[in-house]
Amino acid sequence: MPSPELIHPALWRATQLAQGSARAVPTGHAALSALLPDEGWPQGSLTELLAPHPGCGELSLLRPALTALPAHRDIVLLQPPFTPHITTWMHWGLDPQRLLWLTPASPRDTLWAADQVLKHGSCAALLCWLPQVRPESLRRLHLAAQGSETLFFALRPANAAQHASPAPLRLALAPAAAGLSVQVLKRRGPVCDVTLYLPFEENTGRLLPAVPAQPLHSPLPHAPLDRRLPATPAAGRRTTALV
């Protein structure tokens, strides 16, 4: 019997990581890339980052990928809980003129804006904070993303890990001593029981090469749905924590 990937690129063996099923952008963290299908963040697909609170290092995790994106395409920050720290983005080498900071008036407007960004396809990346979202809304956004080459990240609360999601890739993040713990909860491939610890570089806040850490969550089954989440946490004051 031929290998599944020879039949169709979207097929893979359950014991293997999917390869060639999506366009990928390197994460900039070799140990993390080794755990992901196609060794990077998938373009044209919904990726979820689940964290106990905003500002635990999620943007530092994404920094290498964001800085590697084409300079002529914008990066959208949709409904971030804090004011983006433009000085830090400039320090990363990103032109602040490329950053589109959108704060819609309602959750419905946020979903509409995300859908329009994905369908338009001109932006290099969309980072969308979704503290509360219906399962059908996630499915629609994932479908919209598939028609684009946009890096699409949904940043959601840690307790969303207890519910299923249509996202092919889900990561649990948690603050650790001078660093960030990362666990792959869901991927196109076998269950991942490895948790990485990414230490922050002193004085710069950049993440250094990963080392093994203890699991954050028990592995969760793959499933196509999600459920309603608790209400949006209160937004904080202007701070550099979002970087």
Per-residue pLDDT of the chain (243 residues; tens, 9 = 90+): 555 555 445 554 555 455 555 689 999 999 999 999 999 999 999 999 999 999 999 999 999 999 999 999 999 999 999 988 889 899 999 999 999 999 999 999 999 999 999 999 999 999 999 999 998 999 999 999 998 999 999 999 999 999 889 999 999 999 988 889 999 999 988 888 889 999 887 555 566 665 554 444 444 443 333 333 333 434 443 333 344
Domain ranges of the chain: 21-199
Write the single-letter amino acid at 43. Answer: Q
The pTM (predicted TM-score) of the whole model is 0.79
CB 239 within 8 A of CB 82: yes
pLDDT, tens digit, 9 for 90 and up, residues 168-195: 999 999 998 888 999 999 998 888 888 9
Instruction: Give the pair of three-digit tokens for residue 221.
Output: 């089954």
CATH superfamily, domain 21-199, is P-loop containing nucleotide triphosphate hydrolases (3.40.50.300)
pLDDT at position 201, please?
72
Nearest to 172 by CA among 184, 160, 155: 184
